[in-house]
Chain A
Amino acid sequence: MRHIISVLMENEPGALSRVVGLFSQRNFNIESLTVAPTEDATLSRLTVTTLGSDRVIEQITKQLNKLIDVVKVVDLTEGDHIERELMMIKLKATGQMRDEIKRTADIFRGQIIDVTPTTYTVQLAGASDKLDAFIDAIGTSGIMEVVRTGVSGLSRGEKVLSL
């Protein structure tokens, strides 16, 4: 099953490599990974989406907790949560395709953030499967470049991941 694991960790050199190293060393899977400092500059928040059985996920959270730099770990998929991923996609946009892309982007509530006579760049945010659906709708032949941030997420309601 797919899990979204959120990690609060010391914003220190080497911390990220320890997390990434742990995943490769123990043969854990990484679907996506995103990391940035939080409002407290001494802390970073890392979100990793991973696939695994309950036993594997239990090991992942335990092994993450074991890292000295890691302050807190939560598996967001255990409760109600919100997840978003941002994608920027550069498309060939000539002739009829210009209208078609615009229409599709509107349907997906995307925005065209860069325009040239031959290209459109669309920005789209949402759950990962929505981004996948947009790619499917556009068709791969017109895609010049895709960049995705990986999943970020947090729990719904009062629940927070903090010190």
Chain B
Amino acid sequence: MVVITGQVMSHLIGEDAFQETDMIGVSRPVVKHSFSVQNPEDIPAIIKKAFHIAESGRPGPVVVDIPKDMTTPTERYPYEYPASVKLRSYNPVSRGHTGQIKKAMDMVLSAKRPVIYSGGGIVMGDASNELTELAQMLNVPVTNTLMGLGGYPGTDRQFIGMLGMHGSYEANMTMHHADLILAVGARFDDRVTNALDKFCPTAKVIHVDIDPAAISKTIKADVPIVGPAKSVLAEMVSIVKASKKQIDKEALESWWQQIEEWRTRHGGRFRTDDSELMKPQQVIEMLSKVTNGDAYVCSDVGQHQMFAAQYYKFNKPNRWINSGGLGTMGFGLPAAMGVKLNFPDADVACVTGEGSIQMNIQELSTISQYDIPVKVICLNNQSLGMVRQWQDMNYESRHSQSYMKSLPDFIKLVEAYGHVGMKVDKYEDLEAAMQEAFSLKDRMVFMDIAVDPFEHVYPMQVPRGSMRDMWLTKTERT
């Protein structure tokens, strides 16, 4: 992402002029780099550099701050957009170290309980095919992070689900008991690892990432490999193909038996008999069914996000767009709009909650203005569900600032903007309503779906525990 910010005239900078903000300063902690334009003739070269930095290496946002007088229409300059860009201080790696990759593959082929733990780097780095090929050649289980979903086909037998705080039982158990973790494009963040000192006690770690700073930041890598996921994985595939050494099939067989046992124990089940209202999980399963698992799904932050991650089966990369580690409510609707603009013929859904959607509800107007027919799937539980869940579990259900007594009538609201509103409060009506919503190709549809306000997201890792320490239901713990 390149962000162009407008700045006050250059002679006014530093004088607290009208609408002056130090954009470079306020954005510094959250950007990869930033530029401030000092001379109009520098603009083309700066824009070229900005896009180069934003897209290459570990991608990240770049800000270009342009004072108003840098674009004065009366001043003319020759427009010369540079063909290439070179920055002496910025040379992202283009491939991994072959020696390290060989060493890593030797470890993988010697492993008895291996697991591939892959993240957003697979999606960003367009390495999904290479990952799938490697995993299937070796018959190794694959778990994805929240950002990595779709990097490996979600309906494949070898896929054991998302891992981490709300990861699947089998994914977290597999990680905990593994003797080798091949981490690719993932960063061992705190929502994945749980307590670092209890993390996967028997596992050796191979860590592939394009960002050297991501390696050994929290979990020490036994074999670090700095490089783009795509080329490193391709090299791994060709090493396995050429290798005389074979992975221990017998050991792998009993590893799989164990994993299947775990898979059947929890298996993503949830109760439907403890509430009159439908369950949020059912809504996501229906969304997956109605869209054939092929929609672009954007989400906000909270329970609905976790349910979408757990119950929508992403078979392709780039189908799941959410704010990940930043956890920014309000992200979903604008993200869905961006996706829809880029893929006008695709089904684009924004899975959200009645809390998150209100963070950027004004975009309903932009949707009219630019005719962007996204579908909003609002799981309305009348509360900030994830906050309330934590208050239930850690604060004896003393709910504070997590309930919604002031909700608008969403149907009236979206209709006021000229869109289609649908209210669904019975599971029996859900499928037909959702079918209808997605059949209205050129209309924005807002589905306000009443779901059980008391539902929790499970599994949920126990704080300060290991990966295998989880609540599986409200009453059942590992």
A interface vs B, CB < 8 Å? 9-10, 13-14, 17-18, 21, 25, 55, 58-59, 62-63, 65-66, 68-71, 163
From known contacts A14-B34, A62-B212, A65-B212, infer whether A9 and B217 are also in contact, taking CB-CB under 8 Å. no
Is the pair B89, A69 in contact by a Cβ cutoff of 8 Å? Answer: yes
From known contacts A58-B216, A63-B213, A65-B212, infer whether A70 and B89 are also in contact, taking CB-CB under 8 Å. yes
Q: Which residues of B contact A68 (CB under 8 A)?
A: 32-33, 53, 87, 89-90
From known contacts A17-B25, A65-B212, A68-B89, infer whether A59 and B217 are also in contact, taking CB-CB under 8 Å. yes
Among residues of B, the one whose C-beta sits closest to the C-beta of A10 is: B89
What is the bound-complex CA distance between A156 and B233, given in angstroms?
41
What is the bound-complex CA distance between A65 and B36, given in angstroms?
21
Q: Closest CB of chain A to B199's CB: distance in Å?
A: 15
What is the bound-complex CA distance between A66 and B142, given in angstroms?
30
Quick one: which of A14, A55, A59, A163 contacts B213, CB cutoff 8 A? Answer: A59
Query: What are 29 A-B contacts defined by CB distance under 8 Å?
Result: A9-B89, A13-B36, A14-B24, A14-B28, A14-B36, A17-B25, A17-B28, A21-B28, A21-B29, A25-B29, A55-B220, A59-B217, A62-B212, A62-B213, A63-B213, A65-B213, A66-B211, A66-B212, A66-B213, A68-B32, A68-B53, A68-B87, A68-B89, A68-B90, A69-B33, A69-B89, A70-B89, A71-B89, A163-B88
Q: Which residues of A contact B88 (CB under 8 A)?
A: 71, 163
Considering residues B36, B87, B211, B213, which has the most beta carbons from chain A within 10 angstroms of its beta carbon? Answer: B213
What is the bound-complex CA distance between A144 and B218, given in angstroms?
46
Q: Which 3 A-B pairs have the closest CB atoms?
A: A62-B213, A68-B33, A71-B89
Since A25-B29, A59-B213, A68-B33 are in contact, a sample of 7 more A-B pairs with Cβ atoms closer than 8 Å, ordered by chain A residue number, is A14-B28, A17-B25, A21-B29, A58-B216, A62-B213, A66-B211, A68-B87
Q: Which residues of A contact B90 (CB under 8 A)?
A: 68
How many residues on B have C-beta within 8 angstroms of the other chain's C-beta atoms? Answer: 19
Q: Which residues of A contact B87 (CB under 8 A)?
A: 68
Q: Closest CB of chain B to A82's CB: distance in Å?
A: 26
Q: Which residues of B contact A18 (CB under 8 A)?
A: 28
Tell me the residues in window 207-232 of chain B with beta carbons closer than 8 Å to chain A beta carbons. 211-213, 216-217, 220
Q: Which residues of B contact A59 (CB under 8 A)?
A: 213, 217
Q: Which residues of A contact B213 (CB under 8 A)?
A: 59, 62-63, 65-66
What number of residue pairs across chains A and B have CB atoms under 8 A from each other? 38
Q: Which residues of A contact B34 (CB under 8 A)?
A: 14
Q: Closest CB of chain A to B472's CB: distance in Å?
A: 34
Q: Closest CB of chain B to A54's CB: distance in Å?
A: 10
Q: Closest CB of chain A to B129's CB: distance in Å?
A: 28
Is the pair A55, B211 in contact by a Cβ cutoff of 8 Å? Answer: no
Q: Which residues of A contact B53 (CB under 8 A)?
A: 68
Q: Which residues of B contact A70 (CB under 8 A)?
A: 89
What is the bound-complex CA distance between A63 and B213, given in angstroms?
6
What is the bound-complex CA distance between A9 and B211, given in angstroms?
20
Tell me the residues in window 72-91 of chain B with beta carbons closer than 8 Å to chain A beta carbons. 87-90
What is the bound-complex CA distance between A17 and B32, given in angstroms?
14
Among residues of A, the one whose C-beta sits closest to the C-beta of B24 is: A14
Q: Which residues of B contact A9 (CB under 8 A)?
A: 89
Q: Closest CB of chain A to B92's CB: distance in Å?
A: 10
Considering residues A21, A65, A68, which has the most beta carbons from chain B within 10 angstroms of its beta carbon? Answer: A68
Q: Which residues of B contact A69 (CB under 8 A)?
A: 33, 89
Among residues of A, the one whose C-beta sits closest to the C-beta of B215 is: A62
Q: Closest CB of chain B to A6's CB: distance in Å?
A: 15
What is the bound-complex CA distance between A59 and B218, given in angstroms?
10
Q: Closest CB of chain B to A68's CB: distance in Å?
A: 4
Among residues of A, the one whose C-beta sits closest to the C-beta of B57 is: A66
Among residues of B, the one whose C-beta sits closest to the C-beta of A63 is: B213
What is the bound-complex CA distance between A138 and B25, given in angstroms?
43
What is the bound-complex CA distance between A55 and B29, given in angstroms?
22
Q: Closest CB of chain A to B65's CB: distance in Å?
A: 10
Q: Closest CB of chain A to B326's CB: distance in Å?
A: 15
What is the bound-complex CA distance between A71 and B28, given in angstroms?
19
Among residues of A, the one whose C-beta sits closest to the C-beta of B217 is: A59
Q: Which residues of A contact B28 (CB under 8 A)?
A: 14, 17-18, 21
Q: Closest CB of chain A to B17's CB: distance in Å?
A: 19
What is the bound-complex CA distance between A62 and B212, given in angstroms?
7
Tell me the residues in window 30-49 of chain B with beta carbons closer than 8 Å to chain A beta carbons. 32-34, 36
Among residues of A, the one whose C-beta sits closest to the C-beta of B30 is: A25
What is the bound-complex CA distance between A132 and B211, given in angstroms?
40
What is the bound-complex CA distance between A68 and B25, given in angstroms?
16
Tell me the residues in window 438-470 of chain B with beta carbons closer than 8 Å to chain A beta carbons. none
Q: Which residues of A contact B25 (CB under 8 A)?
A: 17
Q: Closest CB of chain B to A46's CB: distance in Å?
A: 13
Q: Closest CB of chain A to B53's CB: distance in Å?
A: 6
What is the bound-complex CA distance between A62 and B213, given in angstroms?
5
What is the bound-complex CA distance between A80 and B316, given in angstroms?
53
Tell me the residues in window 47-68 of chain B with beta carbons closer than 8 Å to chain A beta carbons. 53
Q: Which residues of A contact B89 (CB under 8 A)?
A: 9-10, 68-71
What is the bound-complex CA distance between A63 and B34, given in angstroms?
16
Q: Which residues of B contact A17 (CB under 8 A)?
A: 25, 28
Among residues of B, the one whose C-beta sits closest to the C-beta of A58 is: B216
What is the bound-complex CA distance between A107 and B315, given in angstroms?
76
Q: Which residues of B contact A21 (CB under 8 A)?
A: 28-29
What is the bound-complex CA distance between A68 and B92, given in angstroms?
10
What is the bound-complex CA distance between A118 and B24, given in angstroms?
48
What is the bound-complex CA distance between A66 and B211, given in angstroms?
8
Q: Which residues of B contact A66 (CB under 8 A)?
A: 211-213
